[in-house]
Amino acid sequence: MSFAGATILLVEDDASLSRLLAEELEADGYTVRVAGSMADARARLAEHVPDLVVSDLRLPDGDGLQILGLLQHRAGHVPFVVITAFGTVDQAVEALKAGADDFLTKPLSTDHLRLKIRRLLAQADISRQLAEMRGQGDRTLGLLGDSPVMDRLRTEIRQVSRSHAAVLINGESGTGKELVARAIHRQSERRDRPFVAVNCAGIPTELMESEFFGHEAGAFTGARHARKGLFAEANGGTLLLDEMGEMPLPLQAKLLRVLQEGRIKPVGADQEEAVDVRILAATHVDLQRAVSEGDFREDLYYRLETLALRVPPLRDRSDDVGLLAMHFLRDASRRQGRGFMKLSEVASRLLLDYPFPGNVRELASAMERAVTFCEGDVILPEHLPDRIRKRQAGVQMASDAPLTEEISLARLPTLEQVQQDHVSRVMKAVDGNKRRAAQILGINRRTLYRWLENRGVSRND
């Protein structure tokens, strides 16, 4: 993700260090404004609120935390990095409690600082997107995500909302099929009428007909009073039949008749009643396969699938994971009475690397757990579920061939050969860009230069 053009206020009284950092950040495409004192910083902030601030802790006429306080008063939360040559644990804790996002000590690794800046700008961008989406409900339809598959889904929701026909919503468990159904209802002409959702898998088979169509008093043992069914409750509005694939065949036949004629017959009644209900059917089951296996009526399937939507699994919209994680993190922290919380860089990377078989619901649960077990305001890897934290090691182990007596140990590469091969592949992947290669390898450029020179590669090669 590129944040070229973002404005950074650099507050540093050491002129040579200030010049070095400004050159490095400008080379990354940032617009850098420099201040050498508290007074300079105040003047810069009066002119323009930056996207991020990097400030020395000790300044000739004050300290960086005063700038942080001023910035919070004027603009709310702006990413803030404190740097100092006199770093202690107490100072770091004080800075973070005051609202700083990171605390770095001198001598400073410019590569490390640049990585921190990219991470903080990315988190700020996600926060901005969340704020925009909350203020633009009509545009997002209440469905977070800017990936192409979500844009396409929102378009399809708007299209089917214009119709009164039944809609089949397909998708794996946890993808948000009910959210899609509610979005269809809100966009339709029925938005001011009832929306009733029922999980077909949660109703005992012997009670289904009564639950859906109602019953008269005395219709069966225990039916002392007449009762309206779900269709009557949803009259004029929308009825979501979740887990549609669990509906028994006899009830499927009666549902098909409701779709065709718009009439229901309560259990024990002599007369039918007219109802005006739009049916939305959601399922994670392959209904076409269920038809071929005799578990679902073919005529009902074709009636439903005329307007069919597919809710994508989270693995098909991985670009949305960061945005969704921050959304669920904010929701969980608000429910638990916590303040502003954020994800550490490593925790973010673990979430992005995890396939989420449980989809969006699993991600929401992971964020709820993380907030519960986090004592501070930064979510670390240890706050995430074990299955997410340990997957990286598991993938690595699964990819390694087991060492058996049949494998010639002499053919295994040495550590030097493995290292050289990895560095070569990284250098090739970044077209020889040593700065980028050092970043990926997790070392500074000087270390990379020394490593290359020891193997006969000059800095200019």
pLDDT value, residue 392: 55
Q: What is the CA radius of gyration of the chain?
A: 30
Q: Specify the pLDDT at position 138.
A: 55
How crowded is residue 234: how many other Cβ atoms within 10 Å of its Cβ?
A: 23
Kindly report the backbone phi and psi dihedral angles of residue 149, in degrees, each rounded to the nearest multiple of 5, phi listed first: -65, -30
Is there a shared CATH topology between the 7-134 domain and the 314-399 domain? no
pLDDT at 334: 87
397 has a pLDDT exceeding 50: no
Residue in this structure with the two tokens 């700083």, named with its chain if needed: 100
Q: What pLDDT is stored for residue 427 in this prediction?
A: 81
pLDDT of residue 68: 87
Which pLDDT score is estimated for 321? 92
pLDDT of residue 197: 93
The pLDDT value recorded for residue 287 is: 92
| Predicted local distance difference test score (pLDDT) of residue 417 | 66
Phi, psi dihedral angles at 169 (to 5 degrees): -110, 110
**pLDDT in the model for residue 328:** 92
Q: What confidence tier does 166 reach under pLDDT thresholds 50, 70, 90? A: very high
Whole-Å CA distances, 393 to 350, 354, 380: 11, 12, 17
Q: Is the pLDDT of residue 448 over 80?
A: no
Better-scored residue on pLDDT, 305 or 123: 305
Give residue-wise pLDDT tens across range 233-291.
999 999 999 999 889 998 999 899 888 888 888 888 888 889 899 999 999 999 999 99
Query: Taking all residues of the chain, what is their mean pLDDT, rounded to a whole number?
Result: 83
For residues 180-191, average pLDDT: 93
pLDDT at res. 103 = 81
Helix-strand-coil percent breakdown of the chain, rounded to 5? 55, 15, 35
Above 70 in pLDDT, residue 26? Answer: yes
For position 441, what pLDDT does the model report?
78
pLDDT score for 340: 76
The yes-or-no verdict on residue 371 having pLDDT over 70 is: yes
Percent of the chain with pLDDT over 90: 35
Tell the CATH topology of 412-453: Arc Repressor Mutant, subunit A (1.10.10)
Question: Does the domain spanning 155-310 belong to CATH 2.70.98.40?
Answer: no
Confidence band of 297 (pLDDT split at 50, 70, 90): very high
Query: Which residue would you say has higher pLDDT here, 54 or 342?
Result: 54
User: Once rounded to an integer, what is the mean pLDDT over residues 374-396?
Assistant: 78
Residue 126 predicted with pLDDT over 80: no
CATH of the structural domain 7-134, one choice from 3.40.50.2300, 2.40.50.100, 3.40.50.2000, 1.10.1780.10? 3.40.50.2300
Mean local confidence (pLDDT), 391-410: 44
**What does the alpha-carbon distance between residue 284 and residue 246 come to, in Å, rounded to a whole number?**
10
pLDDT at 134: 54
pLDDT bracket for residue 398 (50, 70, 90):
very low
Q: Which residue has the higher pLDDT, 358 or 447?
A: 358
CB distance 259 to 307 below 8 Å: no
Q: What is the pLDDT of residues 316-368, one digit of tens each?
A: 998 899 889 988 998 898 888 887 788 887 888 899 889 999 999 999 999 99
354/109: higher pLDDT: 354
Q: What's the pLDDT at 283?
A: 94
CATH of domain 314-399: 1.10.8.60
What is the structure's pLDDT at 369? Answer: 95
pLDDT at 180: 95
217 compared with 285, residue with greater pLDDT: 285
- Torsion angle, alpha carbons of 108, 109, 112, 117, to 10: 50
Structure tokens at 352: 């992005």
Residues in the chain: 461
* CA angle centred on 377, ends 375 and 378, rounded to 5°: 100
Q: Can you say whether the dihedral through the CA atoms of 263, 198, 321, 135 is positive or negative? A: positive
What pLDDT is attached to residue 101? 81
More confident residue, 111 or 410: 111
pLDDT of residue 402: 43
- C-beta atoms surrounding 306 within 10 Å: 12
Domain ranges within the chain, ordered by starting residue: 7-134, 155-310, 314-399, 412-453
pLDDT at 37: 92
